[in-house]
Amino acid sequence: MKPRSRIYVTRQIPQGAFDVLLEDGNVSFWNSHEPVPRGELLNNIQGVDALLCMPTDKIDRDVLDRAGPSLKVIGTLSELCDHIDVDECKRRNIQIITMPSISTEIVADLTVAALEGQLMSNEDVNANESINKNDVIQKMYNGKTLGLIGLGSTAVAIGKRLRGKGISDIKYSDFTVKSAQEKEIGANYEEFEKVLEESDIICICCRGNNKNSELFYKDAFQKMKKSAILIDAARGHVINYYDLYEALREQHISAAAVDLREQGKIPYKDQLLGLNNCIFVPYQESNRWDKRSKISAIVSNKIVAILQTPDCIPENRPVSG
């Protein structure tokens, strides 16, 4: 009979995901919604067969060394695995499981909903039932410029939606000119600083990495219009959240909606939530927990599947749940 696997989880996760893991192994975990301290992680990972971690956990060579040769699979509740030393995992034949990507259409719909929520709150028309809110929103878009940071599929989907609602102009900034995508939505390429200076609505749609981890910081916010609304739909963090808090508090920009992709702990979240011009999306905590339950269970099932076939580990590549 196969001995039970040892599994370590770096955060509290929904009970359904725990139940999945318990089918195959003995599970220990950091009993908190806060990130596991580095020392705690290193103390508890020795000899485990599987690790379920969060995007805030740095899984580097030191962690892998401490885990030892028993570690077969790492699951992360992130779309990305840039917090994991993928090359070192590949060398050790450790499989990596990422969470399923949030669909482009869902992110685009959330972005537009968050934007219109902020627009409506600025106009203070929600209490007046006699006003046609669609007409009000369309008037709000007239004469406005949309700035897209990154022009991938999500940005194109957002651009199409806002074109249909009457946005007047679309500018974008990216590493390269993207002729095919800009034709789809009638966008014009501009340098990053010019997009900041001329846009009324700025949607961050790029992928965060070590090179642009604080693309939006104090200087960037000071270049934006005081009436500008910022929407964060990035994959990975590209915002200095303290500088965002200061920009919103001092009204250097009008409003912001952040964390559309629910990417783990956000610095200064409590302070940002205390402002009346910053929202976190999705709006409902219960809906967010429901979604997290499903995602956690998917990743956990993938982990168990690999643990149950220890002699048949596939070629090492990050695999979406």
Contact 6, 289 (CB under 8 A): no
pLDDT in tens, 54-75: 888 999 999 999 999 999 999 9
Q: Could you give the percent of the chain with pLDDT greater than 90?
A: 55
Q: DSSP labels for 56-112?
A: TS-B-HHHHHHH-TT--EEEESSS--TTB-HHHHHHTT-EEEEPPPPPHHHHHHHHH
Q: What is the pLDDT of residue 137?
A: 77
Q: Is the pLDDT of residue 138 over 70?
A: yes
Q: Is the pLDDT of residue 286 over 60?
A: no
Separation CA 94–CA 67 (nearest Å): 11
Q: Is the pLDDT of residue 176 over 70?
A: yes
Q: Is the pLDDT of residue 84 over 60?
A: yes
Instruction: Let me know how long the chain is.
Output: 321
Higher pLDDT, 137 or 52: 52
Contact 136, 123 (CB under 8 A): yes
User: What is the separation of C-alpha 291 from the centre of its chain, rounded to a whole number of angstroms?
Assistant: 14
- Give the number of other CB atoms < 10 A from CB of residue 33: 9
* Most confident region among 138-147, 203-212, 307-316 by mean pLDDT: 138-147
Higher pLDDT, 52 or 259: 52
Reading phi first (left if > 0) and then psi (alpha if -120 to 50, else beta), residue 180 is in alpha
Contact 35, 57 (CB under 8 A): yes
Q: What is the pLDDT of residue 285?
A: 40
Tokens of 61: 């060579």
* Most confident region among 36-40, 98-102, 130-134, 270-274 by mean pLDDT: 36-40
Poorest-confidence range of 89-93, 108-112, 142-146, 308-312?
308-312
Q: What is the pLDDT of residue 295?
A: 79
First-to-last C-alpha distance (Å) of the chain: 28
pLDDT grade for 7, boundaries at 50, 70 and 90: very high
| Alpha-carbon distances of 285 from 17, 43, 58, 267, 289, rounded to whole Å | 18, 32, 26, 18, 6
pTM, 2 dp: 0.64
pLDDT grade for 288, boundaries at 50, 70 and 90: very low
Q: What is the pLDDT of residue 211?
A: 65
Tokens of 145: 């410029």
Q: What is the pLDDT of residue 208?
A: 73
Q: Is the pLDDT of residue 123 over 70?
A: no
Q: What is the pLDDT of residue 261?
A: 60
Contact 119, 137 (CB under 8 A): yes
